[in-house]
Amino acid sequence: MKLCIDKADCVGNARCAAVAPELFPLDDDGYIAVSEIDVPPGSEELARRGAKACPERIIVIEE
């Protein structure tokens, strides 16, 4: 599973990291630090919840 993130549209809600801080790295200002995440096996449910938690809806799941 891969997550694609439209980084430019992140407004720093940090709700993804609130679900799974280890999956969603943030920069020092609290904005998503990456535009792609390779989800380690076993973390798919957390990844789905984290993606769904984004109020700006910028995290897209590629199964």
Report the residue from 30, 36, 44, 60 that binds other proteins according to the rule CB under 8 A: 30
Which of 50, 47, 43, 57 is CA-nearest to residue 10? 57
CA distance linking residue 8 with residue 45, whole number of Å: 25
Q: How far is the CB of 5 from other proteins (least distance, A)?
A: 16
Shorter beta-carbon distance to other proteins: residue 16 or 39: 16
The yes or no reply on residue 63 touching other proteins (CB under 8 A) is: no
Shorter beta-carbon distance to other proteins: residue 7 or 38: 7
